[in-house]
Structure formats: C-alpha cells, structure tokens
Amino acid sequence: MVQVKALACELPREQGLPFSRLSHRDIAREAVEQGIVASISGTTVWRWLSEDAIRPWTHRSWIWPRDPEFEAKAARVLDLYEGKWDGKPLGPEDYVISADEKTSIQARRRKHTAKPPASGHLRRYEAEYQRQGALAYLAAWDVGRAKVFGLCRQKTGIDSFHALVDLVMQQEPYRSANRVFWITDNGSSHRGERSVRRLAKWYPQAIQVHTPVHASWLNQIEIYFSIVQRKVLTPNEFLALAELENTLMQFQSHYQRIAEPFEWKFTTEDLNRLLVQIPEASDKAAGQNRVAA
C-alpha cells in the first residue's frame, strides 16, 4: 500500500509517462507493470488514496506570491478594510473605494430563442451564437457605505479609468472628503507610481493603493463582479451591445438598492499566518517528493 501511495505522489513525467496527471486506473496499471503488486484494481487504488486524501487525478491552479513587497502591500489593503491607515483609525471623512474593470464582455446573440423552464425541463438556451461585439464594465465599490458606481466603455485605458474616477469624485461625499483611498490592482490602466501621482493630480484627496501582483482576490470589487457574472452574464444572451450595457446599468441600480457591505473576514493576522504556512507547505511538498522517489 505504501509503495502504491508513493507512486501516486510522483509526477507522471518522473515515471516517463506522457500524462499531465494520473488516474486511479493509471496508478493501478503502473503498480502492476513495476512489480509493486501482482494485481490491483483501480477501485482499490481509489479507495486507498481517498482514505488518505491523496487524489492525484484532481488539481487546482496556484500562483506563488512573487511580489517582493507582497506582505506590506497586502497589509495596507487589509488595514483599510479594518478602518486603519498607517496604524491610525480612519476619520469620518475618509472613504475606501475598491475599483477595477471587467474586460471583454461579449454580447452573444443566440441563433434560437431560449426556452423557459417547465415541468421536467431545465431552462434551455441555444449553444450557437453570433458575436455582437464586446465592452468593458468599469466599477467602483465604496467598502464602508456599500455604494457601487460604474460605466461601460468600448475599451479600457487611462481615459476610461479617469471617467470612472470622475464619476465618483465629482459627487458628495467624496468631493469634500478628507481622503479617498482607491484600491486597485496592477492593470495597465492604473499601474505603478505614475498612476499614483496621476490620480493625486486629478484629485488631491485621492490616494491610490495597489494590491500585490497577482492578488486581485484582495480587491473587494471582484466580489461584486462575481455577482454580476452569475446573475447577469450567465447565460450570456443579448441581442446587441446596447442591450448588454443597459442590462448592466439596470442591475447596478437594482443591486444598489439592496447592497450591504461585504462581510470581509480575512485580516492582517490571517495574512501573517498564511505567509508563515507557505514556505512550510513548500518544504513539506519537497519532502514528500523525496520520500516518493
């Protein structure tokens, strides 16, 4: 059993196999061919590995933190969610905005009309479609007040981001605010220190705060975009771009009426625990590979 489990922990290419991953049947076949066992079924392998929570036929993607300032950048964002900046509480005239763009949203005109759900049938919609173009949806989320602002553009870029910033900053309470923190990722429309200076030039009370590279999950606007994806864009069925834009804006207005602040629970303490675990997990995985070899 131990040797079969060790085989399951190895990458297929280390066994000279042209696979990206092993199924339980693959492992059973290799165990027999390598003389580990005289015979064994894929079901038995599946049962052994499932009991040990080793499932080599499954996988998930992983992005290793590669931003040299990952901890510091992430901590700044998480502190803002907790109402702090540079170790001091935010004031009543300070606001936190989470912003980004959802790009390349297609309007797909289905070749046949969708069928509504009926007894014994799910909702059915035609798989074939004609592309009617694509647009970008730029949105900003007030973390504390649960207010959402957004607009659609044919393309992203500095001008489009500027339009979103204007939409927020030219109305109260942001126009008269002491500070408005803008949390963004590192997309080309708002990347680097040049973007920080540019935003401050547009509005002196605006402070841009970048998430670490490959850490958009720290940006709360992504939660709103996931809601839009589920409730508006799945399935995607629009006759034209104008209908797509109108639907997005209508949903935004609807969501605004029912919105509440997101229940964000990941804190700087959680971040510190996670960063401690990452090298430990790497060392453990390396050790398992050495044992399997």
Q: Are residues 42 and 164 in the same domain?
A: no
Residues 199 and 263 in one domain: yes
The 10s digit of each residue's pLDDT in 57-85 is 777 877 777 888 999 999 999 999 999 99
- The residue range of the domain holding 192 is 70-268
| Least confident piece of the model among 77-81, 113-117, 134-138 | 113-117
On whether both 74 and 165 belong to a single domain, the answer is yes
**pLDDT per residue as tens digits for the range 34-47:** 999 999 999 999 99
Clarify whether residues 17 and 134 are in a common domain. no
The answer on 163 and 21 residing in a single domain is no
Higher pLDDT, 221 or 11: 221
**Is 275 part of any domain?**
no
Shared domain for 112 and 211, answered yes or no, is yes
Q: Are residues 176 and 44 in the same domain?
A: no
Given a cut of 80, whether residue 291 has pLDDT beyond it is no
Residue 234 phi/psi, 5° resolution? -130, 110
Q: pLDDT value at position 280?
A: 52
258 falls within a domain: yes
Q: Is 281 a member of any domain?
A: no
Do the domain assignments include residue 128? yes
| One-letter-per-residue 3-state SS of the chain | CHHHHHHHHCCHHHHCCCCCCCCHHHHHHHHHHCCCCCCCCHHHHHHHHHHCCCCCCCCCCCCCCCCCCHHHHHHHHHHHHCCEECCEECCCCEEEEEEEEEEEEEEEEECCCCECCECCECCECCCCEEEEEEEEEEEEEECCCCEEEEEEECCCCHHHHHHHHHHHHCCCCCCCCCEEEEEECCCHHHCHHHHHHHHHHHCCCEEEEECCCCCHHHCCHHHHHHHHHHHCCCCCCCCCHHHHHHHHHHHHHHHHHHCCCCCCCCCHHHHHHHHHHHHHHHHHHHHHHHHHC
Q: Could you tell me if 54 and 103 lie in one domain?
A: no
For residues 134 and 261, membership in a common domain is answered with yes
Q: What is the CATH number of the domain that holds 104?
A: 3.30.420.10
- Domain-located, residue 274: no
Return mean pLDDT, the chain. Answer: 90
Please indicate, yes or no, if residue 291 is contained in any of the structural domains.
no
Same-domain check for residues 104 and 23: no
The structural domain count of the chain equals 2
Percent of the chain residues topping a pLDDT of 90: 68
Whether residue 102 lies inside any domain: the answer is yes
